[in-house]
């Protein structure tokens, strides 16, 4: 970016998620342009690698596969470059095989995907080849109790296994 708002290869419009690979290549959710851009180090413009997507969050696993939260009609998480659906994909909803308002995500060493499922006020974990997620935090209705969230937006897990969640409308980070 850096050339102002727009849809040319050297511009972005409302970038959201961002992740770096081991070589310093930057992947960007260019939200309003409904695309994901890849920028190699020292490039003057990006390359669109995914288009027609409502991307909010990106994560990368140890094999450098990219995971993309997609809030289009299917409400899903895609693995790139294969395009395989690894979570959701069953429309917007609150069942364990659905997502609603998924934003930022985290991928662990086992390639399980943890998703901040904002509209459902929960964090869901999708293991490899699973057909539904498991609620691992929240999911007890919207609120400010110790076991509740009010629109979680991001999740990360440290090396000790502690999960941190950004609880947007409760103005807190939980661990």
- Domain range list for the chain: 53-174
Residue 114's pLDDT band (boundaries 50, 70, 90)?
very high
Checking if the pLDDT of 2 tops 80, the result is no
Checking if the pLDDT of 3 tops 90, the result is no
Cβ-based neighbours of 134, under 8 Å, separated by 6 or more: 96, 124, 125, 126, 127
pLDDT of residue 73: 86
Checking if the pLDDT of 1 tops 80, the result is no
pLDDT of residue 46: 95
Lowest average pLDDT, out of 67-76, 89-98, 106-115, 163-172, goes to 67-76
Checking if the pLDDT of 110 tops 90, the result is yes
pLDDT of residue 29: 96
Quickly name the fold that domain 53-174 has: Neuraminidase (2.120.10)
- Whole-number percent of the chain with pLDDT over 90: 90
């Amino acid at each position: 970016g850096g050339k102002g708002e727009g849809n040319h290869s050297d511009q972005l419009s409302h970038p959201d998620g961002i992740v770096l690979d081991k070589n310093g290549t930057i992947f960007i959710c260019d939200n309003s342009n409904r695309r994901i851009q890849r920028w190699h180090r020292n490039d003057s413009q990006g390359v669109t690698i995914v288009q027609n997507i409502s991307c909010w969050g990106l994560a990368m696993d140890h094999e450098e596969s990219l995971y993309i939260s997609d809030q289009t009609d299917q409400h899903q998480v895609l693995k790139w470059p294969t395009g395989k659906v690894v979570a959701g994909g069953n429309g917007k909803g609150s069942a364990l095989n659905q997502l609603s308002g998924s934003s930022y995500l985290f991928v662990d060493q086992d390639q399980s995907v943890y998703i901040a499922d904002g509209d459902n006020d929960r964090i869901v974990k999708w293991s490899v080849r699973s057909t539904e997620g498991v609620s691992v935090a929240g999911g007890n209705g919207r609120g400010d109790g110790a076991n509740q969230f009010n629109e979680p937006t991001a999740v990360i897990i440290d090396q000790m296994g502690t999960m941190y969640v950004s609880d947007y409308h409760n103005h807190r980070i939980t661990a």
